Chains A and B, each alone.
Chain A
Amino acid sequence: MAYCPECGIEVSTPRADCPLCGAALQDQPVDAATPFPVTVQRTRHEPYRWVDIRRILFTGLSLLPTLGIVSVLAVNLLQNGSVHWARYAVLSLVTGWAVLALALYQFRRPLKLVWASAGVLAVFCFLLALFNGGQCWWLTLALPILLTVAVLFHWVWRCTYVRRVHWALGSAVILAAVMALCLALEFIIALNLDQDLAPTWSGIVCLVLAPPSLFLLYVRYRLSKKVDLGKLFHR
């Protein structure tokens, strides 16, 4: 029987090195049977693998819009001999399909998902504006709103999830992002409609959200250092 000079043990498996330390074995046997099979059988490790489920979902997700697109195109062509209104339905279906497919494949990478979805929606708005005679609202209204949402999400994600901050600080960051979004939305809309730029409804939202946000910051930086919150709330 083979012998490992490092471990001092006998090895009955016919092999060149010790399975425990990798040292070369001495006194190799000439024809020993292997105690374990050499071949690996392919086995299903999980009853339903996520890859299979995703493939089924994607097939269903692709099939339904395809049927919808074919149907609306056929109806529009048969009724009017053109795709005058069907193009809007087709565009909406394709956009919906693209966003859902992105969510299906990229849900583990939320930042990528948000930026890609913002891109898809920007294209959607651009084509919609193009169908309506090349209006410029997509550049002055749609694109800034999409960019603001994506940037704020990116910021919140980086500040809270990636840095694994305290729950109170994370909640304060989220509230701050909601306030910033409301202010930005009202500003962009007012700029497009040539209205007064002073905040009105977004100001009210900020007044409502600012106190809890400040309270959360107080909890994070003052209260949590003095009091065991877990004990206080019987966590």
Chain B
Amino acid sequence: MDNAGKVFASLNSWRMQSTFRVSGTLRQPVNLEKLEAALQKTLPRFPLFRARLKPGFFWYYFEPSDKPPAILPDSRFPLGESFSAMGRGYPWHIRVYHRTVALDCAHALTDGFGALTFLNTLLAEYLDYRGPRAREQGLLDVSEAPLPEELENDFPRHYTPGLPKVPHPEPAARLPLTQESAGVRHVTRGLVPAAALKQQAKAAGVSVGEYLNAAYLEALQGCVLGEGGEALVRPGGPLRIDVPVNLRAVFPSKSLRNFFLTVFIEIDPRLGAWTFEEILESVHHQMRLKRSPRLYRQIISRNVGSERNPFLRHMPLLLKNALMPWIFRKWNLRWSTSGLSNLGLLTLPPEMAAHIDRFDVLPTHPASRGLSCAAIAFGDRVSVCFNRTVREPTVERLFFRALQARGIPVTVESNEV
């Protein structure tokens, strides 16, 4: 297992959930028999997805399995189960509802890129697409044999011992929101025209990702300080979001396993209410400052170094499972208020894209954090999904209202009835 997978495998309850969802919505209702046949064709190309996660004495490990994976009907509250309760022992399953095919996947197995590659290839088989397939588009040829590099754990290749430690940030501010009961997950999805968003971002001189990060930080600030800037609660620290970075774009890699890390972007509401322009400028510079392979190597070295710690290596899994949620909560979740995963623009061959309406991502979300957000662009639309385990939709409301007020039309869907 890779470095991130080892951590995520021990976070296995509804409170410390480590599963996420990527889904594709077709233009026609899904034919289950056809999907099952496509899955049978796709699976041999992805040995990683034919493995079940088993507990060893010191770590979890993958065990190859020939059992057919599960295709299940979707539920109103997605990602309700921990990965060990997923279909037929695999740390993933497919859920289908009407026109949507969703892949629910444990982060212990792969990251967003790996999951999207599997889903795209599955949809290509389902749609009988026979054109050229590019790895960069997240499409693999099922007639080819799997490459050994696809199963490689790429983190240790960039491990440099003896690098200075990454300084720990101060604990981030918490959102003053009410926790929902167990198993309830509110999903709010906003569909935004990509052209309008791009135009706004271009006018502000930032990228679309930076614009979304800034808008999210502005909504979080509104949630903490109140929409008018009057402090609802005294913020206990900076508002900080963790932004995952796909390392394949920086270091050459063909791995389908986890190969990402997160960087922190923050504003400090204790210094007063920030205007959107100020947030944009700050986010723009922070993102550029942190986009450095040297800094990435430093973070990788810290993560891999702690994994190689002899004390941690020889600790029985039972203890790791008991301690890891606590460590994760204490060291990782405290550092950020929320998270925004931006999977970027997904481009598929036109023959295939014509049959697909849109793609959505539902991020991994530990219940103690309140809410997380993810975005993906496909065709002429950007889908922004909020995964929320708190009662109040304050952040979504502020986020989408702000976009609408800046001339970006928003269409909202929600699983609340």
Which A residues are closer than 8 A to B by beta carbons?
1, 7-13, 15, 18-21, 33, 35-41, 43-47
Contacts and interface: CB of A to CB of B under 8 A. Distances in A.
Nearest to A44: B85
Given A10-B411, A45-B82, A33 B12 contact: no
Pairs of residues from A and B, 10 with the lowest C-beta to C-beta distance, nearest first: A19-B414, A45-B14, A36-B415, A41-B75, A20-B397, A43-B80, A43-B81, A44-B85, A10-B411, A35-B413
A57 B354 CA distance: 57
A19 B73 contact: no
Interface in B60-117: 73-77, 80-82, 84-85, 97-98
A37 B417 contact: no
A9 B189 CA distance: 12
Nearest to B416: A19
Contact of A39 (B12, B76, B189): B76
A12 B82 contact: no
A41 B86 CA distance: 13
What range describes how many residues of B lie at the interface? Answer: 35 or more
Contacts of A18: 412
A39 B190 CA distance: 22
Given A36-B97, A37-B76, A9 B413 contact: no
**Chain A binding surface, main DSSP class:** loop
A45 B183 CA distance: 7
Contacts of B411: 1, 9-12
Interface in B1-53: 12-14
A3 to B, nearest CB: 10
Contacts, number: 103
A47 B73 CA distance: 21
B226 to A, nearest CB: 15
13 contacts: A7-B404, A9-B412, A10-B412, A11-B412, A11-B414, A15-B417, A20-B396, A20-B400, A38-B417, A41-B80, A43-B75, A43-B85, A46-B13
Given A9-B410, A10-B411, A46-B14, A40 B397 contact: no
Given A9-B410, A10-B412, A36-B413, A45 B81 contact: yes
Nearest to A49: B13
Nearest to A11: B412
B358 to A, nearest CB: 11
A10 B408 CA distance: 12
A19 B188 contact: yes
Interface in B268-305: none
Given A11-B411, A36-B187, A45 B182 contact: yes
Interface of B: 12-14, 73-77, 80-82, 84-85, 97-98, 182-183, 187-191, 393, 396-397, 400-401, 404-405, 409-417
Nearest to A22: B393
A45 B13 contact: yes
A9 B401 contact: yes
B414 A13 contact: yes
Nearest to B83: A47
Given A7-B397, A13-B416, 13 more contacts: A9-B412, A11-B411, A18-B412, A19-B393, A19-B414, A20-B400, A35-B189, A36-B76, A36-B97, A36-B413, A40-B77, A46-B82, A47-B85
A104 B82 CA distance: 26
Contacts of A46: 12-14, 82, 85
A107 to B, nearest CB: 17
Nearest to B411: A10
Contacts of B98: 33
A222 to B, nearest CB: 30
Contacts of A40: 75-77
